[in-house]
Amino acid sequence: MLVILKRDDEEISRQAAQLIAGTVQRNPDLRLGLATGGTMIGVYKELVRLHKQGTLDFSRVVTFNLDEYLGLSATHPQSFHHFMREHFFAHVNIAASNIHIPDGTIRSNYDQYCAGYEEAIHKAGGIDLQLLGIGRNGHIGFNEPTSSIGSRTRLKVLSKETLDDNSKFFAPGEESPRCAITMGIGTILEARKVLLLATGAAKAAAVAKSIEGPVASAVSASSLQLHSDVTFIIDDAAASQLTQRDYYRRVMEMTALLTPERLS
């Protein structure tokens, strides 16, 4: 795994967008796995900027989002459908028919719906590049602690920590969703390349456990150690509990020298 250390959110957004843009330019038919959350806002902003500059064409790109809250319609301001439209899809030329986000309004036959989502990924040829955030509890997508490392897209009950983190985004008195539809860890591990972004001290423990701890279902992101092509891009605060920071810096320098394509 490649660990790229950056100073702050702005540098992370620029580096991640550069990596995604380079991948799209090399493969205009890219199957791109997308994530939501505060960490992603700067990345989408930068991708939109590159698109508006005329250097980035998404017309043939196919997207698959990781997850959606159960019970929220696409128009709900806290839905991930809404997030994606507001921060990205409304500003770039991705064909509506190429966008896939789990439907939060389904009421029954969850297993069948989730199998259909997996099938859509499979039919598209699999995900080439999967973008990920990380929760304070180490979740990726909504794969809460103790999710099976082999798990697939499914209905998932949200943890107390995630409910607490998310409740602030909902109106006072409004009940926040307790469940979500999420790609599984097994689904994520099948992406050809994975890019995980983390910022801020609140993520430091989860980041350290994911990169330097044992692989354990208690920390879903630690399962990425099993993947052959993972890049973490993290800021100083999120990196503060890593013990091998000097080594990661040396690897970064050598990567820039020997295999610079891994950074762009």
State the catalytic residue, choosing from 137, 143, 165, 235. Answer: 137
* Residue 204 within binding range of ligand PGA, rule CB under 6 A: no
Written as one letter, the residue type at 129 is: L
The answer to whether 67 is a known catalytic residue is yes
State the minimum distance, in angstroms, from the CB of residue 133 to ligand PGA: 3
Out of 14, 21, 23, 37, the only residue in the binding site for ligand PGA (CB under 6 A) is: 37
* From 39, 143, 153, 223, residue interacting with ligand PGA (rule: CB under 6 A): 39
DSSP label at 239? T
Burial 86-100 (b: 16+ CB within 10 A, else e): ebbbebbebeeebbb
42, 104, 135, 177: which one contacts ligand PGA (CB under 6 A)?
135
Size of the site for ligand PGA (CB under 6 A): 6
- Could you give the dihedral angle defined by the CA atoms of residues 142, 146, 152 and 158, in that order, rounded to the nearest 10 degrees? -30
Give the nearer residue to ligand PGA in terms of CB position, either 115 or 179. 179
- Residues 6 or more apart whose CB falls under 8 angstroms from that of 135 comprise 144, 161, 162, 165, 206
**β-bridge mates for residue 130, sequence order:** 33, 194
Residue of 106, 172, 119, 164 lying closest to 137 (CA atoms): 164
Distance CA 105, CA 9 (A): 33
User: Which is catalytic among the residues 139, 143, 165, 235?
Assistant: 139
Question: Is residue 139 annotated as part of the catalytic site, yes or no?
Answer: yes
Q: Which residue is nearest to ligand PGA, using beta carbons? A: 37
Candidate segments 3-11, 104-112, 133-141, 207-215, binder of ligand PGA by CB under 6 A: 133-141
Give yes or no for residue 133 binding ligand PGA (CB under 6 A): yes
Catalytic site residue 166? Answer: no
Q: By the criterion CB under 6 A, which residues form the site for ligand PGA? A: 37-39, 133-135
Which residues are marked as active site?
67, 137, 139, 144
